Structure 1
Amino acid sequence: MTTNENYQYPLDETWTTAEIITVTHFYQLIEAANESTVAKADLLAAYRAFKMVVPAKSMEKQLSREFEAASGYSIYHTMQTAQTTTKARVRYRG
């Protein structure tokens, strides 16, 4: 697991370094979308890359639950906002 200032990111120890970087980048953008704003295109691209590492919906849900428990940020709700907004920048206010 990678450590943020206050918690650890949920990661799979079988992932390669590149995969860990990809997933960590996605988590960081989710945090940014909850704390300030991020470019919609960047967040959607990071999600597509995340899905290449985590193609199984069941694992995605498990990681999302672990991430939300640790950070307080919902990947699901943040991504719903990103996918439905017409704005160029995303901010989730959950």
Structure 2
Amino acid sequence: MEVQYPISIDWSKEEVIKVVTFFQLIEQAYESGINKGELVRAYYGFKDVVPSKSEEKQIFKQFDKETGYSTYHAVKEAKETEREKVVMNK
């Protein structure tokens, strides 16, 4: 799937990499599963770039609309699950 990731022209190269990596891991959680620790670490990297909750919600909404995935639910599952792997159902 060809996805247009929601990124800002104001972000540095390193910040763009953190955000894109996070969204790639969200995709992986839905497509094949991902280690929960890896996803949680990537989320905190994303939060370094996007600390505002309202901006986070806007970006999640853009990505979710583009992919049909729920970023919020994937992150929530990664934080709360006892299992080592997060596997989401679309």
Fold match (TM-score > 0.5): yes
| Paired-residue identity, % | 42
Count residues with an aligned counterpart: 90
1:7 Cα deviation from its structure 2 partner: 2.5
Partner of 2:33: 37
Trace 1:1-94 onto structure 2 (pairs within 5 A): 5-94=1-90
**How big is each residue's C-alpha offset from its partner over 1:8-53, in whole Å with a ceiling of 9 and x where there is no partner?**
0110110000000000000000000011111111000000110000
1:80 Cα deviation from its structure 2 partner: 1.2
**Structure 2: runs of 5+ lacking an equivalent:** none
Give the TM-score taking structure 2 as reference length.
Answer: 0.96
Relative contact order: is structure 1 or structure 2 higher (C-alpha 8 Å, sep ≥ 6)? 2
**Structure 1: runs of 5+ lacking an equivalent:** none
C-alpha RMSD over aligned residues: 0.9
Give the TM-score taking structure 1 as reference length.
Answer: 0.92
After TM superposition, what 4+ stretches of structure 1 lie above 2 angstroms from structure 2? none
> Which protein has the bigger strand share?
1
What residue identity is the alignment partner of 1:24?
Answer: V
